[in-house]
Chain A
Amino acid sequence: GESVGLHLPTLSVQEGDNSIINCAYSNSASDYFIWYKQESGKGPQFIIDIRSNMDKRQGQRVTVLLNKTVKHLSLQIAATQPGDSAVYFCAENARDDKIIFGKGTRLHILP
């Protein structure tokens, strides 16, 4: 997984626009990926997951894309709303039931 940084990168998006949050993973053996949303003072909340036999999965207003060739994962949020403000973490599971978290991205919604 990614190394933990001292500060979180921030993505600022206008309300109503689409958000794209990117994540790179390092373990080519990882076969299951999850995106979590963490609001201030709360635990991470499951958003969407994808297995390595897929390259795209859609949920309600969210889409996850997986590019195994370059070990890249992205989360797309359509029509971003104020309630989407949070820190977003990607996480990978390399077949041993342990989830490794990426360093996270803070999504800031502009009015």
Chain B
Amino acid sequence: SAVISQKPSRDICQRGTSLTIQCQVDSQVTMMFWYRQQPGQSLTLIATANQGSEATYESGFVIDKFPISRPNLTFSTLTVSNMSPEDSSIYLCSVATSTDTQYFGPGTRLTVL
């Protein structure tokens, strides 16, 4: 399985600001994804991060709010823009290998005041 790291591990931010979360994988992977996990709830897919092209967003998530970059096969960023308290969540990146299985990073715990 791939080893995935995320930065920062947690942050406390003021409303109206933006935070960029980084995801680094120790090997080249075909697919990278970003999820949100609100307190006490399950994981919801935000978008698929595509290498060299625009991310594919799920219903309810838009590029202006959650811009995503994926400059290469081992790195991606998710920005949470113009934050409000409702954006307080854990944000997780995951990667898919050739076997369809997805492996997850440790998550970034975001609190918006």
User: Which residues in A have some Cβ–Cβ distance to B below 8 Å?
Assistant: 2, 4-8, 32, 34, 36, 41-46, 49, 89, 91, 93, 97-104
Residues of chain A with a CB closer than 8 A to B45's CB: 98-100
Contact check, B107 vs A43: say whether CB atoms are below 8 A apart.
yes
**Alpha-carbon separation in the docked complex, A97 to B54 (Å):** 17
9-residue interface stretch from B12-20, B76-84, B95-103: B95-103
Report the number of A-B residue pairs with Cβ-Cβ less than 8 Å. 56
**Alpha-carbon separation in the docked complex, A49 to B94 (Å):** 16
Contact check, B106 vs A46: say whether CB atoms are below 8 A apart.
no
A44: min CB distance to chain B, Å = 5
Closest 9 CB pairs of A and B: A43-B104, A101-B43, A101-B42, A44-B104, A43-B107, A43-B106, A4-B42, A103-B42, A4-B41
| B92, CB-defined interface residue at 8 Å | yes
Residues of chain B with a CB closer than 8 A to A97's CB: 31, 48, 96, 100
Contact check, A5 vs B41: say whether CB atoms are below 8 A apart.
yes
Contact check, B43 vs A44: say whether CB atoms are below 8 A apart.
yes
A51: min CB distance to chain B, Å = 9
A5: min CB distance to chain B, Å = 7
Q: Which of B1, B41, B42, B48 contacts A98 (CB 8 A)?
A: B48
Residues of chain A with a CB closer than 8 A to B106's CB: 42-43
Counting chain A CB atoms within 10 Å of each CB, which of B43, B92, B96, B109 scores highest? B43
**Alpha-carbon separation in the docked complex, A41 to B106 (Å):** 8
| B52, CB-defined interface residue at 8 Å | no
Residues of chain A with a CB closer than 8 A to B96's CB: 97
**Alpha-carbon separation in the docked complex, A76 to B33 (Å):** 28
Residues of chain A with a CB closer than 8 A to B40's CB: 6-8
> What 0/1 pattern do residues 33 to 72 of B give for CB contact below 8 A with A?
1000000111111001000000000000000000000000
A9: min CB distance to chain B, Å = 12
**Alpha-carbon separation in the docked complex, A101 to B46 (Å):** 13
Give 15 A-B contacts (CB < 8 Å), ordered by A residue.
A4-B44, A5-B42, A6-B41, A7-B40, A42-B106, A42-B107, A43-B4, A43-B107, A44-B92, A45-B104, A89-B42, A89-B43, A99-B102, A100-B45, A103-B41
